[in-house]
Amino acid sequence: MRPYRDIAILAGAQIVCFLLLTHLEPAFFLIHLYQSIVYTAILVLLFYMEDRWAYMIGMLASVVWLAMAYTSGMLGRAIEQLFAPRTSSLAVNLVGLLALVTALLAVLMIGFCGRHWKKEYSGLGKTPSTFLVSLGIVLAYYGILSQVVLGPDSKRMSVGKRRRRTFRPCYIPRRRFFHP
C-alpha cells in the first residue's frame, strides 16, 4: 500500500465536493471549480512522487481555505442551515452539508499531511525551504481566487454573458433647507 493513499482519497473527496457545489450553486460555478484546482494539483504531485510538496501544499491550502471559510461566515451559516427548522429548500441544506463536509475533509487533510510529513521528511533539513515555497504558491493561488471573488463582477460568478451594472441609488428623501 502506498503511504500517501489516504491523502489521495481526501483530495479526491474534496474535488467531488467542490464539483457537487458547482452543480448546486451555479452562480458560484467558477469559484468552486477554481477551488478544486489545488486538490487536483495535489493528486498530480502524488502521482509524480513529489510527496513532500503534496504534503506541504495540502496542509497549507487546507489551513488557508478553513481560515477564509471561517472569516467569511460560510461555516457558521452552514451550521445554522443544517440545524435550523426545516424551512429551507433541499438544495440549501445540501450546500450547508457539503460546506461542513469540505471543512471536515480539510481538517483531516491537515492531520494526515502533517503526520506523513513528520514521519517521512522531518529532520532532513528541507522543512523551511519547502514551507516557504509552498506558502508562496498557496498565497498566490488564494490571492488570485480572492481577486476573482472580490473583483469587479463579484455579484454573479456565472458562465455566460455578463450584464453591465448600473448605479441605482436607494431612494432617500432629501431635506431641503433652501428653496430656490
- Nearest Cα neighbor of 98 from 141, 69, 63, 71 is 69
Q: Which residues of the chain have pLDDT under 50?
A: 1, 154, 156-160, 167-174, 177
pLDDT digits (tens, 9 = 90+) for 50-102: 888 999 999 999 999 999 888 888 888 888 877 776 666 777 788 888 989 99
DSSP class of residue 165 equals P
At which residue does the C-alpha cell 427548522 appear?
A: 85
Report the distance separating Cα 45 and Cα 43, nearest Å.
5
The torsion defined by the Cα of 10, 16, 17 and 22, in degrees rounded to 10, comes to 150
* Predicted TM-score (pTM) of this structure: 0.77
